[in-house]
Chain A
Amino acid sequence: MAIITIKDLQKTYNSSQVPVHALNGVDLTIDEGEFTAIVGPSGSGKTTLLNIIGGLDDPNDGQVIINDTEINHLSRAEKIDFRLHHIGFIFQAYNLIPVLTARENIEFILELHGIPKSKRRLRSNELLEAVGIPEKADIRPRQLSGGQQQRIAVARALASSPRFILADEPTANLDSASADNLLTIMEELNKKEKTTFIFSTHDARVVKKARRVVTLEDGKIKSDSKK
């Protein structure tokens, strides 16, 4: 069942003197439970595609339909609410809130959903176990390694059980062991929580783990292969 349907997506940046066509007619469908990697060289449009799917950026043309909602027609406030309720984000630089502990970073998202404290605690415990660092619950991000921070970021992204997770270069700042570990955790969570994962990546390890690989080049889909 399709969770994301993208039709003829166009995006041009006019910020420089020469217009840059970041996306040039992208058509893509992502089904529920997929573990998909979007790959391609720098400037191929991976991040732009992810930003538009996540409602962080607007296309010049085309449609992005998520669960029957055409998100590029939503207002700014509606997009924020939509992201909160349907999308989890994992960033290359982790982007945890440095003044909150690992657990608080996870519970923060749940609080935005208005989930009561007792349930927040249960869910954060569950996720800390799932990402394998329950003992780091009360530690702030700066005292964690990059891999541990990214695991917390994964737990945060999964906290509210979103329909899908957008991960922008999640392993780019990690060493091999940490990257492998993280990918294994995400793969398990994908299976266990049935959450759809969409990665933009250069990392061959991610490509290897992905069950579907979409290759972008010059803003177009060059190939789309399922394993």
Chain B
Amino acid sequence: MLLKIAWRNIWRSPVRSWIIIAALTAGMFAGIFSSTFMNGWMKQRLRDGVETETGHLQIFRNNYQNSRKLSLLLPPGEITKVSAHPMVQSATERIIVQGMAASAETARGIRILGVEPEMEKNVLNLHEKVREGSWFDSPYSKEAVIGEKLARQLKIDVRSRIILRFQDLDGTLTGGAFRVAGIFRTSNTAFDGTHVLVRRSDLAELTSIPSGKSHAIVVKLQNAEDAMHVAPQFEETLEDADAVPWKELSPELGYITELSNTYMYIFVVIILMALAFGIVNTMLMAVLERTREIGMLMSVGMARSRIFIMIVLETVMLCTTGGLLGIGAGLFTVWRLSSTGIDLSIWATGLTEMGFDPIVYPEWDAVLVLNIAGMVILSGILASLYPAWKALKLNPSEAVRVI
């Protein structure tokens, strides 16, 4: 009966209730929409970072990460052991060299990745980001695939020649001329401006790195989240190797999700706090208008705890109605936008500089939605405390006579 009374009480002043429900709906819609927007955006960045740049984990020779010495090479055959791990989907080897890329007009400091083009396709999706030219299938003997930003900076195009200069294993300055076979564009222009990919065999020859040896094995796991606990297993089975999961390779990627979640919750809490004042006001008015009725309930023997629960229930129902409508509207909008995306191309330059794709596909997260729903109910309970307390303070003998 308490539930029935609470629910019907909400509709005693339908206009007032609808106003607060509309405010809650709008607030929750904003909360859900911005949360899913941020969630989708951050996950996109995470996916782009992991699937295009780092892989799920990378294996190096001990101390390579700190020193970047060319001589710290993984011995041949390590990739076979890595690939045999049941959680590994695919793996590829890389030679990594710091150097300079020069065109006829200018030069830039870069990182040169010597890759196995076909193996690389199974681990990362950089080949899908090639916008001009092709992924190592031109007729040229020494091919390079470079980032769009670097191409722009060097003022070169597909089929242009670039000179790559770097040190060989003995520390002697060396280099070679490469033909640009393809130009890639990722959502991270910083990456695009600093990376040149060449065939591993070409780079090995120029740097005198013995056949079969490499600086890194890039690994794709069945599940990215397994990286943290698979990495130590590789460190145990491989000799003198460091296995570094993506969260450590690019710590900012790991923080992105946590930070965005924190921001989302802070945002929702601010919305709910603002709404709570409106709810308190509405419920205080409701209590004031029903002074005589509450006095009667006390007179006929309704325990104060039940009166308290009745007012809390009423507030929670009000909040839940608005909250659910807002969450529903938010999820519907997200569902519609999740396939078309939200185009932020107008700010594309700034966004890509930070590694973000200008087309955002909102993504909903069940835990997030449930938490927001929980926060709405909690806000309702908190907002009802003061009006409920005011109701309990009423003197029944006076309250029943209020006109």
Could you list which residues of chain A lie within 8 angstroms of chain B, going by C-beta atoms?
51, 54, 56-57, 76-77, 80-85, 87-89, 91, 93, 95, 97-100, 104, 107-109, 111-112, 156
Residue in B9, B296, B302, B395 with the greatest tally of chain A CB atoms within 10 Å: B296
Question: Which of B260-318 touch A at CB < 8 Å?
Answer: 292-293, 295-304, 306
* Per-position 1/0 for B301-338, Cβ under 8 A of A: 11110100000000000000000000000000000000
The 4 A-B pairs at the shortest CB distance, nearest first, are namely A84-B301, A99-B8, A56-B397, A95-B296
Which A residues are in CB contact (< 8 Å) with B297? 97
- Please tell me if the beta carbons of A51 and B293 are within 8 angstroms of each other in the complex: no
- Given contacts A56-B397, A108-B1, is CB(A100)–CB(B301) below 8 Å? no
How many B residues are at the interface, by size bracket?
Answer: 20 to 34
Q: Is B224 located at the chain interface by the 8 A CB criterion?
A: no
With the chains together, A109 CA to B295 CA distance in Å?
15
B301 to A85, Cβ gap below 8 A?
Answer: yes
- A141 to chain B minimum Cβ distance, whole angstroms, is 11
Can you give 20 A-B contacts (C-beta < 8 A)? A51-B397, A56-B397, A77-B304, A80-B303, A81-B301, A81-B303, A83-B299, A83-B300, A84-B302, A87-B301, A88-B300, A89-B300, A91-B299, A93-B292, A98-B293, A99-B5, A99-B11, A109-B301, A112-B301, A112-B302
How far apart are the CA atoms of A52 and B293 in the complex, in Å?
A: 20
Are A97 and B303 in contact, with the CB atoms below 8 A? no
The minimal Cβ–Cβ distance linking B77 to chain A, given in whole angstroms, is 78
**What is the bound-complex CA distance between A3 and B397, given in angstroms?**
22
Q: Are B400 and A80 in contact (CB under 8 A)?
A: no
Give the most central of A56, A80, A100, A108: most B CB within 10 Å: A80
B245 lies within 8 A of chain A by Cβ: no
Q: A82-B301, A99-B8 are in contact. List 9 more A-B contacts (CB 8 A).
A: A51-B397, A56-B395, A84-B300, A89-B299, A91-B299, A91-B400, A93-B292, A95-B400, A100-B4
Closest chain B residue, CB of each to CB of A109: B300
Chain A nearest CB, measured from B294 CB (Å): 10
Q: Which of B1-15 contact A (CB under 8 A)?
A: 1, 4-5, 8-9, 11-12
Query: A181 → chain B, closest Cβ, in Å?
Result: 23
Contact A100 B5 (CB under 8 A): yes
Chain A residues whose CB sits within 8 angstroms of the CB of B306 once the complex forms: 112
A95 and B292 contact, Cβ closer than 8 Å, known pairs A57-B397, A77-B303: yes
A99 near B301 with CB under 8 A, answer no
CA of A76 to CA of B307, assembled, Å: 14
Are A54 and B299 in touch, CB under 8 angstroms? yes
Q: How far is the CA of A76 from the CA of B395 in the complex (A)?
A: 11
A residues near B114, Cβ cutoff 8 Å? none
> Which residues in B have their C-beta under 8 angstroms from that of A76?
304
Q: What residues of chain A lie closer than 8 Å to B31, measured between beta carbons?
A: none
Contact (Cβ within 8 A) B8 A80: no
Give complex CA distance A99, B11 in Å. Answer: 9
Residues of B within 8 Å of A81, CB to CB, are 301, 303
Q: Which residue of B lies closest to A91 (CB)?
A: B400
A97 engages B400 (CB within 8 Å): no
- The answer to whether A99 and B12 touch across the interface, beta carbons within 8 angstroms, is yes
Tell me, in angstroms, the Cα distance from A91 to B200 when the chains sit together.
95
Q: A56-B396, A56-B397 are in contact. Are A80 and B1 (CB under 8 A)?
A: no
Q: Report how far A87 CA is from B302 CA in the complex, Å.
A: 12
Q: Which residues of A contact B9 (CB under 8 A)?
A: 99
In the assembled complex, which residues on chain B have CB atoms less than 8 Å from the CB atom of A93? 292, 400
User: With A80-B303, A89-B300 in contact, is A100–B8 under 8 Å at CB?
Assistant: yes
Whether B397 lies near A98 (C-beta < 8 A) is no
Chain A residues with CB under 8 Å of B304's CB are 76-77, 80
Q: How far is the CA of A77 from the CA of B302 in the complex (A)?
A: 10
Minimum CB–CB distance for B301 against chain A, Å: 3
Chain B, residue nearest A57 (CB): B397
Contact of A80 among B12, B302, B397 (CB under 8 A): B302
Within the assembled complex, what's the spacing in Å between the Cα atoms of A148 and B12? Answer: 22
Considering the complex, give the chain A residue whose CB is closest to the CB of B12. A99
Contacts of B8 in A (CB 8 A): 99-100
Contact partners of A89 in chain B: CB under 8 A: 296, 299-300
Cβ-neighbour of B293 out of A77, A88, A95 (below 8 A): A95
> Which of B292, B301, B400 interacts with A83 by CB under 8 Å?
B301
> Quick one: given A56-B299, A80-B304, A81-B301, are A104 and B1 in contact (CB under 8 Å)?
yes
A97 contacts which of B293, B295, B298 (Cβ < 8 Å)? B293
The answer to whether residues A80 and B298 also contact, given A56-B396, A95-B292 and a CB cut-off of 8 A, is yes
Question: Complex formed: what's the CA distance from A100 to B56 in Å?
Answer: 62
Task: Give bound CA distance, A80 to B301, whole Å.
Answer: 5
Residues of A within 8 A of B298 (CB): 80
Q: A56-B396, A77-B304, A80-B304 are in contact. Are A97 and B5 (CB under 8 A)?
A: yes
Please indicate the chain B residues that have their CB under 8 angstroms from the CB of A57 in the complex. Answer: 397
B7 nearest CB neighbor, chain A only: A99
Q: How far is the CA of A137 from the CA of B12 in the complex (A)?
A: 20
Q: Chain A residues near B400: list those with CB within 8 A.
A: 56, 91, 93, 95
Nearest B-chain residue to A156, judged by Cβ: B300
Distance, CA A225 to CA B300, complexed state (A): 29
Our pick among A56, A98, A107, A109 for the contact of B12 (Cβ within 8 Å) is A98
Q: Shortest CB–CB separation between residue A78 and chain B, in angstroms? A: 11
B371-398 with Cβ < 8 A to chain A: 395-397
Residues of A within 8 A of B299 (CB): 54, 56, 83, 89, 91
State in angstroms the CA–CA spacing of A89 and B299 once bound together.
Answer: 7
